[in-house]
Structure 1
């Protein structure tokens, strides 16, 4: 909450003027398809809050209140990611707006229609040093698709109404991807002459279009006509699908590696390590594959033809230096050789078998990879699996397959650990008929523990289970170059632990108690039973699974060596894939 202290109340016509502007803006947002709003308490945005509350009571929209603008934006992000519909976040002026930046960045790269409605002081006080007054239209410029500062000041009422409504329509069309390229976040900045409540409970305001339609109808853009690019499947072809990929554009006969967030529709996908051993003649990339480093290495091979399937709305091109062709209209010709499919299938079975053996070898300390494999086996059709960045999503990708009927969500736009609990809360609120199970690490949990906070008057999801794979630090760094044993040498002392491992003095149980959520600590064997009990609690439940961090690199190395040994011992005819190991 961000009150404006030391300011004399503004009264009279400005109070009703602020209420009128707020009523028109909210009305046009609802007409434009925004049905869910996250509101962060403040003073300057008070007129917007009163109007949102009134319309929520009338059943015309859904309203959630959060104290923390950063968390609120991630809750909205989770909702929008889960449903695909735009969700609005309403904040007061000043530094409140800066807290929207992390979620705006994620929404930008993940193409999520997030509508950031920021109340502002009147233009005449900008640059005067007035409290909570900054140039807040510059905070988010690098992350939002568009900044719309609402006008209409000084115009006759009917003209001002038309101006405000048309501006809101334009911003919503940009957020939805109907103007200016792909969907993404937009900022609607609302200068208000007062933050005081309206003088009456219901404000009479100029009407919008009849039948509840938007002021300006902006249809979806017509796809640009592009030249078809033929892809010959008689060549050894492999598809790599990243976040945002649409596999329905690819014939089912084409072998495919897909990240966990890619809907497969029941299609069989290969283990990501297949790419370390197979030698395709051409790689076809869909979406934005950022999870595994072997993708960029494979794309860089000089003897491999690379094709990126893109709709042309990207302001980035994945692995641009290594892409030969970008096309929006791939046309597949020929048939995939059975020998190629058979070789890849055999290799996939070998890799998965060695991972399975390693995970069943319990003579070693358990790791997050064991938690991921066990969790996958405990999921049910209809569940939504939210995966934290860093190791959880990689562990799921490497140790098993997502069961059919389970939707996987994750912040893969900028792939940060920020806001994961809040986003999972948003996904649970937006999908009340599903159980949302979030798998995150302990640092990710600590980073966004305040996402568990909610007001006494707020709706709290009763369908969210947060599984914390607690390895006491940043496990991802164990697998990166920084985690090489050479950097654990006495010369470096505790440097690795201090700047990479970063274990925290946090007792998760009392932290959960402080936020009023359930907590239980479970050993790996008890995880399925603990999940069943958490599902039945009808409130947010946290299941903490203690695991080891320092042995994770050893597990990966052992699996890799065992696969290599099997490969080297195989007859030459069975090794026609020409391995290119990492």
Structure 2
């Protein structure tokens, strides 16, 4: 049976494109990001037709790298797979940064890449590369659709089943973990269809997918008992799910983890306690304190994992890996009191440190000001360099605020594009992106929006401009030694890397509102930006050269307070 009846003759590529789009929609893909090209033209025409029919949402972007991160942000914000459609050649190669992030973040990104027919591969044809191998190490599955240049009677079921199989892998229903997948579509030509309506073979009745796959039952895994009467700390990194964790379990939680309203511990608490056991959920990557704790031989470690990870957290003394932890017993009141005391001390030290006017004029102060200005139901997108760490150190997202960040490979690439994707996918909530100046400059082209495209008018980008790479100030290479002879200005050139970019002019070129504000003005500026109904960039000039000293001052305050408390107890 054919889904559309018409006397117009449909070309092979148009029919293949229609079948591919139809089965993707049936498989639950509601949003597509399309990058213009000739080879993928038949897919573009079909996407446009199906959008007009109300079957899907379509966004068009010029840059495949930015488009892939846009789709990544959409998927993170909604939890629903998003498809990116490209032409052949280097267009596919430009997907790699976002695909790598999706791979390590377990994001089911769907890559639909148009290709030359099999007979043309390896012949030197224009825009022909080995594109089924370009992304192979970072996708869970590459499906090169087995179709000829013209449809045949067996094509419909074959193509549809291949797409269903690929989507099931991407969602984690066949191989246990979700992630990006690639559907490579050979098309003999990019010619548009002969008519608006393309006849194509029908799918299953009632809009069902060709093949249905049920989610795997992870609860069927053997349970592992965790005794909470022992001194226990739970460390939750990006991707952690705390729904099954009792609210009484003491937790150190990264900003991108939904704490469910529970009270959490400051990460610096780990420097001053000696737990008996540590439970690790998700993928913690922010704080070195976690690695130091997990490397201790006198601490038993339980890693919560479904067994389908490509990695095991870098701790040499993990005792148990389990997919089904079962918490039993009660947390000792003395243990809970000790943790709360250290947590209060650390947070008070940071609060006192940031009261200094000069200390507020840093990325730490900007993060603190942003947290104070957030409202329930906001979405906070954090740059993967210092901003996400600054938020973790100076506070935590308020209850009701969701925080997202590209923590899979923790690169700055595509950060603004991903935030734009989150804003476009969440039009009813304000999206506040907190990024550094290098991150913003690296991905500023994400602000480019086509005249006919949806504008992310609910997006506010806060640029903490410290004129360079502030994170390196806190690492080993940021030691004052590397700012003087014999190293001279080496640090500034290869790590600080200050740029000569006029952000106001840059935003003006993209018709985006820009305003430069002081840290103390940021809260009021954010309130005004909420009412702008257009993308707004708030640039906050700060310094980075004092960061090392600020961290040292905060640590000194913590140590002095805890030592004084210990002396008082002894006396």
TM-score interval, smaller chain: over 0.9
Aligned positions, number:
563
Displacement after TM superposition at 1:223 (Å)? 2.7
Within-5 A mapping of 1:127-146? 127-146=122-141
Could you tell me whether the CA contact under 8 Å between 1:14 and 1:194 is conserved in 2?
no
CA distance in 2, matches of 1:199, 1:56: 19
User: Could you tell which deviates more after superposition, 214-223 or 236-245?
Assistant: 214-223
Partner of 1:347: 342
Question: Quick check: 1:19 aligned with 2:19?
Answer: no
Match for residue 230 of structure 2 among 230, 235, 257: 235
TM-score, structure 2 normalization: 0.97
Within-5 A mapping of 1:112-511? 112-153=107-148, 157-223=152-218, 225-364=220-359, 366-511=361-506
| 1:249 aligned counterpart, secondary structure | coil
CA distance in 2, matches of 1:297, 1:341: 22
Could you tell me whether the CA contact under 8 Å between 1:236 and 1:280 is conserved in 2?
yes
Match for residue 570 of structure 1 among 550, 565, 569: 565
User: Could you tell which deviates more after superposition, 407-416 or 566-575?
Assistant: 566-575
| 1:184 aligned counterpart, secondary structure | coil
Displacement after TM superposition at 1:333 (Å)? 2.2
Partner of 1:5: none
Displacement after TM superposition at 1:571 (Å)? 2.6
Displacement after TM superposition at 1:14 (Å)? 11
Displacement after TM superposition at 1:57 (Å)? 1.2
Q: Alpha-carbon deviations, 1:507-558, whole Å to 9, x = none? A: 1000000011000000011101111111111011000000001011110011
CA distance in 2, matches of 1:14, 1:528: 61
Displacement after TM superposition at 1:154 (Å)? 7.3
Structure 2, unpaired ranges of 5+: 1-7
Q: 1:402 to 1:154 in 2, by over 3 A?
A: closer
Displacement after TM superposition at 1:485 (Å)? 1.2
User: Could you tell which deviates more after superposition, 304-313 or 30-39?
Assistant: 304-313
CA distance in 1, matches of 2:225, 2:556: 39
CA distance in 2, matches of 1:277, 1:114: 41
Structure 1, unpaired ranges of 5+: 1-12, 576-582
TM-score, structure 1 normalization: 0.95
Question: Quick check: 1:537 aligned with 2:529?
Answer: no
| 1:373 aligned counterpart, secondary structure | helix
CA distance in 1, matches of 2:54, 2:473: 50
Partner of 1:37: 32
Could you tell me whether the CA contact under 8 Å between 2:204 and 2:210 is conserved in 1?
yes
Q: Alpha-carbon deviations, 1:234-280, whole Å to 9, x = none? A: 11101100011111221111111000000011100000000011110
Could you tell me whether the CA contact under 8 Å between 2:236 and 2:251 is conserved in 1?
yes
Q: Alpha-carbon deviations, 1:95-149, whole Å to 9, x = none? A: 1000000000000010111000000011111111110001100110110000000
Match for residue 92 of structure 1 among 73, 87, 90: 87
CA RMSD, Structure 1 to Structure 2 (Å): 1.5
User: Could you tell which deviates more after superposition, 346-355 or 525-534?
Assistant: 525-534
Could you tell me whether the CA contact under 8 Å between 2:342 and 2:562 is conserved in 1?
no
Displacement after TM superposition at 1:363 (Å)? 4.5
Partner of 2:3: none
